[in-house]
Structure 1
């Protein structure tokens, strides 16, 4: 299993795409991930697709700031996103409700 959050998330999403397709409707929302220990990347979710790209987006719907270790734990299901948020291990700027919908997609992608 990859220890690179970008590669691990990309792999999970690609494997789960047929299963999570129904959750990807609606307008496109952009979720920027930043934090210590990994290159920034963002997810574009909506319009029936999900895309993961390296780098920074100019106008994300929400920015999620989380360390590499905690992001890996989130992706693997070893850390609860709400618990991480309320304990300060994860910070969200932008639309918090949209970020909560992303958690559902990530949980479904894990299968």
Structure 2
């Protein structure tokens, strides 16, 4: 199994339905050095999909290392965005909630 897939599966496992609070959203992750994945949140559930979603709410582009650092808490997501390590398109405010929805 790919390292990227492992990261996304662990995110799904850490999904906090209370934090998602009736959210309907699709997070598209375009990784520079790995396959793309998306996480769909609907009705208090989170599902992972491989590849491109046809209508993501927000698209986040970065390399796999940046994703791992942000999701492990080693790197602040907003700092990574300001440094240009993460590029976001769509509902950027939604992206700021990523570490709340998928806590460590």
Partner SS for 1:98: helix
Deviation of the 1:3 alpha carbon = 7.2
The reply to whether residue 26 of structure 1 matches residue 36 of structure 2 is: no
Check whether the contact 1:42–1:57 (CA below 8 A) recurs between aligned residues: yes
TM-superposed deviation, 1:26 = 1.7
Q: Higher helix fraction: Structure 1 or Structure 2?
A: 1
Q: How many residues align?
A: 104
TM-score scaled by structure 2? 0.87
**Residue matched to 1:67:** 63
CA RMSD after TM alignment: 1.8
**Structure 2: tracts of 5 or more residues without a match:** none
> Moved runs in structure 1, 4+ residues, more than 2 A?
none
Q: Say which of 38, 41, 51 aligns to 2:37.
A: 41
Structure 1 residue matching 2:56: 3-state secondary structure: coil
